[in-house]
Amino acid sequence: MIFLKSVDAIASSKTGDFLSKLFSDVVRFVGVENVVHFVTDNASNMVLAGKKLEAEFPSLYWSPCA
């Protein structure tokens, strides 16, 4: 695990669509072949973003933390 980047999203609405795009950009930057698992909290916006991420990258698994 490494720290890759931070995003100033203070003025953005943290919707599932917004987060999905943000996460997709990170996966593309790192390379989908280098990402196996994506973990977020289980808020509804994160669940939606995680499902969209799995749909976009079938080799990637998403799960909420406990």
* Phi, psi of 38, rounded to the nearest 5 degrees: -125, 125
The strand pairing partners of 62, in sequence order, are: 38
Per-residue pLDDT reduced to its tens digit, 37-64:
999 999 999 999 999 999 999 999 999 9
Question: Comparing C-alpha atoms, which of 24, 36, 33, 26 is closest to residue 60?
Answer: 36
Per-residue tokens: 66: 């406990």
Q: What is the number of helices (H) and of strands (E) in the chain?
A: 2, 2
Whether 29 has a pLDDT exceeding 80, the answer reads yes
Rg (the chain; Cα; Å): 11
Domain ranges of the chain: 31-66
Model pLDDT, residue 55: 98
Whether 30 has a pLDDT exceeding 90, the answer reads yes
How much is the mean pLDDT over the chain? 93
